[in-house]
């Protein structure tokens, strides 16, 4: 018989660790006051403690917690996903690096020419 229960709740080995524990660990490691986080979220400290027991959050809650503790959990969790993603800033830096490398090659070429000229005039 096929189990049509809540399939999204079934555990998989590649699933992340519970998000609540992860958030709580970050807050405690960085000595962030839970009261200030709960005030920012406009919830009671008990509600914040309930978040720590949850395996997942709604996106808006994770977004707001990230703002409250000034830490980008979205990017950090995305890195753990293992799927390559390049941000706009990274793309711009790569383009800038490529431009600089081309400029260096051009300068090295000019330097070789000047050295050749210098050898001839000696």
Sign for the pseudo-dihedral over CA of 90, 92, 69, 58 = negative
Determine the 3-state secondary structure of 86 from DSSP. Answer: coil
pLDDT at 2 (0 to 100): 64
pLDDT at 30 over 60: yes
pLDDT at 75 over 60: yes
pLDDT at 42 over 80: yes
pLDDT at 111 (0 to 100): 93
- Please give the full DSSP string across 4-56, using - where no structure is assigned: -S-GGGS--TTSPPPHHHHHHHHHHHTT--HHHHHHHHTS-HHHHHHHHT-S-
Single pTM value for the model: 0.67
Q: What value does the mean pLDDT take over residues 52-64?
A: 92
Q: What value does the mean pLDDT take over residues 17-31?
A: 92
């Amino acid at each position: 018989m096929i189990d049509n229960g809540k399939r999204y709740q079934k555990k998989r080995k590649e699933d992340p660790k519970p998000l609540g524990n992860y958030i709580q660990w970050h807050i405690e490691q960085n000595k962030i006051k839970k009261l200030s986080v709960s005030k920012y979220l406009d919830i009671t400290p008990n509600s914040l403690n309930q978040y720590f027991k949850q395996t997942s959050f709604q996106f808006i809650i994770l977004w707001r917690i990230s703002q409250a503790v000034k830490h980008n959990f979205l990017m950090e969790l995305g890195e753990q996903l293992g799927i390559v993603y390049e941000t706009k800033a990274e793309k711009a830096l790569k383009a800038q690096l490529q431009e600089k490398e081309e400029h260096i090659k051009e300068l090295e070429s000019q330097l070789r020419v000047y050295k050749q000229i210098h050898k001839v005039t000696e």
